[in-house]
Amino acid sequence: MSLDTPSGGWRHSGGELGAAIRSRIAGAAAARTKQPHLLVVNARRYDAQRQPGRFLRTSLPVNAGQVLRLPVSARWLPVAWLAAVLLAACGEKPAPTPLAHDAYVWQRRWQPALSAALRDSADLVGSWRILAGEIDRQGRFEPIAVDRAAIVASGRPAIPVVRIAAPLATLDSATLVADLVALRGDWPTSTTLEIDHDCGSRQLADYTRFLVALRRALPPGQRLSLTILPDWLGAPELDDLLATVDEAVLQLHSLDKPARRLFDAVGARAWTASLARRTDKPFRVALPNYGSRVVLDGQGRIAAVESEVPLAAGQVGEGPGEGRELFVAPATVAAFLRWLEKASPRHLAGVVWFRLPLAGDQRAWTPATWRAVVTHRETAVRLTGELQPGDRPGQQVVVLHNAGAMDGTLPAALIVKAPCRGMAGRNGYVLEREGDDSVFLRSQPALLRAGGEVIVGLAECPSGSGGVRIDE
């Protein structure tokens, strides 16, 4: 292979730099003919030939982990020139590009707090993906009344999203297409319509036929986006489904399997990589920044889900039918974001967050926490525990505070360093041991919001005695 005309070419071989590199190599090879010269490119050895500036690849590769000895001739090369040659040859990737972020606006009732959130978080997102209509389980089409002035004031474009909760088999396809085309007409500045429908893998062929009909009815140039589920990745029908749309949004959060919480980081990596291999179109991944209260029936099946109704922190039942809080730790999602940026999966266009957090929303991260994760400015969670006077003489309340700027996971255990009695756990903590060092153990994971506090237990303790130690 000649350095002047290598197969595949050198990215940095043109101009004055390339001429200088070739000149230096040729000169060094001509001046030091008494010893062989070696060029290493992509772990392959190239021995110098008698003709200056030419190298011939040997049959022996450089082993992984082997220390590479640069030839003596390389000493004639300035460090910057040598680095340019090696980087060009190895096809080194540039530094990871920060991901683009969108956010779902999923509220069905627009209130002043939502308009304020659009204004305060606009700098974090490229687009809002707004719930614009819903076909409920009974097949009724319900458009959502949105604050268009607040959207315009945010300075960010909006993508209308229609949620189809009813099975397609129960709906009149022609009527549904007409309703969606009419809704799209209410968003004249939007170039994209997104459909959110969670069907089973066996219904993907029917879903594809519906999307083909919808696409034909939409105006020319209208882009179609589609949410997809990880369960669909194993279905051969997914290829035809993806062919009907311009973009897909892979939902990496789910309530289908409460034992796995809302987000499975290991599964999310595998699903993202799988879709990157599967599609040749841009796709995004939807990540959670919210929590849900899941009510289970007597058989442990999901009977009801509460995600947007604010409840007091820690008000969670312990038994079947009473409920279980599910959440996603900000640190877990932040680590996944870093992996996304480093891995740079093929065709990944960005992230969509579910959902835009509001001030006072007890089921979502605080806006400050979400901002910190998006901008990679996470800070340490500052948890402290203390004993406070209770409602009656001698009673002490075990309180856990989060004095930091980030939402954090409740600790696994709290130890009360005081000779207390009559103790009882509260809000997801149970009394494990009572004595001079009483221990409260967390019975289920939960998230303590930045600046918030939660009562862990009650106790009868001597006034002013002892303290609380956090044990992870």
CATH value at residue 221: 3.20.20.80
How would residue 25 be classed by pLDDT, with cut points 50, 70 and 90?
low
Under DSSP, the state recorded for 117 is H
pLDDT (0 to 100) of residue 461: 86
Q: What's the domain count of the chain? A: 3
8 A C-beta contact, residue 328 and residue 263: yes
User: Does the pLDDT of residue 305 top 80, yes or no?
Assistant: no
Verify that 20 and 61 share a domain, yes or no.
yes
pLDDT (0 to 100) of residue 33: 43
State how far the alpha carbon of 306 is from the alpha carbons of 89, 322, 332, 404, 432, in Å: 55, 12, 22, 27, 30
How would residue 22 be classed by pLDDT, with cut points 50, 70 and 90?
low
309 within some domain: no
277 sits in which H/E element: helix 265-278
444 within some domain: yes
Verify that 402 and 284 share a domain, yes or no.
no
Domain CATH code at residue 449: 2.60.40
User: Does the pLDDT of residue 72 top 90, yes or no?
Assistant: no
| Average pLDDT of the residues in 319-345 | 85
Looking at 34, 56, 90, the residue that finishes a domain is 90
| Average pLDDT of the residues in 280-303 | 83
Q: How far is CA 398 from the centre of its chain?
A: 35
CA atoms in the 13 A half-sphere facing the CB of 72:
10
Verify that 35 and 136 share a domain, yes or no.
no
Amino acid identity, position 189: T
Verify that 107 and 23 share a domain, yes or no.
no
Q: What percent of the chain has pLDDT over 90?
A: 61
- Please tell me the pTM assigned to this model: 0.76
DSSP string, 219-254: PTT-EEEEEE-GGGGG-TTHHHHHHT-SEEEEE---
**Tokens encoding 421:** 């009695």
Verify that 121 and 256 share a domain, yes or no.
yes
Verify that 51 and 128 share a domain, yes or no.
no
Q: Look over the chain and give the mean of its residue pLDDT values, rounded to a whole number.
A: 81
Verify that 113 and 214 share a domain, yes or no.
yes
81 within some domain: yes
CA dist 216 and 212 (Å) reads 6
pLDDT (0 to 100) of residue 375: 96
CA dist 333 and 288 (Å) reads 8
312 within some domain: no
More confident: 255 or 299: 299
CA dist 472 and 466 (Å) reads 20
pLDDT (0 to 100) of residue 218: 97
Residue 111's domain comprises 101-291+327-374
105 within some domain: yes
Give the residue from 226, 242, 230, 227 showing the smallest Cα distance to 267.
Answer: 230
Looking at 90, 116, 142, the residue that finishes a domain is 90
Lowest mean pLDDT among 72-86, 171-185, 307-321: 72-86
How would residue 360 be classed by pLDDT, with cut points 50, 70 and 90?
confident
DSSP string, 328-362: --HHHHHHHHHHHHHH--TTEEEEEEE----TT-T
Looking at 37, 65, 90, the residue that finishes a domain is 90
Verify that 76 and 130 share a domain, yes or no.
no
3 within some domain: no
| Average pLDDT of the residues in 103-128 | 96
CA dist 89 and 340 (Å) reads 25
8 A C-beta contact, residue 211 and residue 241: yes
User: Does the pLDDT of residue 87 top 70, yes or no?
Assistant: no
pLDDT (0 to 100) of residue 291: 84
Torsion of CA 21, 26, 27, 32, to 10 degrees: 130
pLDDT (0 to 100) of residue 99: 94
243 within some domain: yes
What is the biggest distance separating any 2 CA atoms in the chain, rounded to whole angstroms? 97
Strand order in the sheet with 437-442: 429-433, 437-442, 413-417, 467-471
pLDDT (0 to 100) of residue 319: 45
How would residue 143 be classed by pLDDT, with cut points 50, 70 and 90?
very high
pLDDT (0 to 100) of residue 462: 79
Verify that 170 and 273 share a domain, yes or no.
yes
User: Does the pLDDT of residue 83 top 60, yes or no?
Assistant: no
* Phi, then psi, of 260 in degrees rounded to 5: -100, 10
User: Does the pLDDT of residue 157 top 90, yes or no?
Assistant: yes
pLDDT (0 to 100) of residue 327: 87
pLDDT in tens, 387-413: 999 888 888 999 999 999 999 999 999
Give the residue from 237, 223, 154, 141 showing the smallest Cα distance to 187.
Answer: 223
CA dist 421 and 404 (Å) reads 31
Verify that 69 and 105 share a domain, yes or no.
no
Q: What percent of the chain has pLDDT over 70?
A: 72
23 within some domain: yes
Verify that 219 and 126 share a domain, yes or no.
yes
Verify that 49 and 166 share a domain, yes or no.
no
